[in-house]
Amino acid sequence: MNKLTNFFKVLSDETRLRILILLYHKKLCVCEMCGITGEAQPKISKHLAKLRDMGFVKDARQEQFIFYELNFQEQLYQDILKNIVDDIDRYPVLKSDIEKSKDAEKYLEACQK
């Protein structure tokens, strides 16, 4: 029961929910998430650290970047995110993030300059 309660606590924060929805679609690095969400790097990194500590995301280094992806062990968590994504038109901020994520590479390129 504790794991489920923790998952809903994670979802109760808008930034963490935005991160999880973005990672539901693709692996991203911090600078890409910052560019997509318009949030500062320290804020995104803090939330990613919490998500990683709880086991909801994992990271992998690729050259000088660390990319994050979902790491759900529970199918229920995936199903909850899928339900949100399936009804994305009801959530303009999340829909906008997903649209921006299609151009995530431009944020990565900006980090390299």
pLDDT of residue 91 exceeding 70, the answer is yes
> What confidence category does residue 113 fall into, taking pLDDT thresholds of 50, 70 and 90?
low
Residue ranges of domains in the chain, CATH in brackets: 2-112 (1.10.10.10)
pLDDT of residue 93 exceeding 90, the answer is yes
Burial annotation 80-93 (CB, 10 A radius, 16+ → b, else e): bbeebeeeeeebee
pLDDT of residue 108 exceeding 80, the answer is no
Whole-structure pTM value: 0.92
pLDDT at 39 (0 to 100): 95
Averaged pLDDT score across all residues of the chain = 92
How far is 13 from 77, CA to CA, in rounded Å?
16
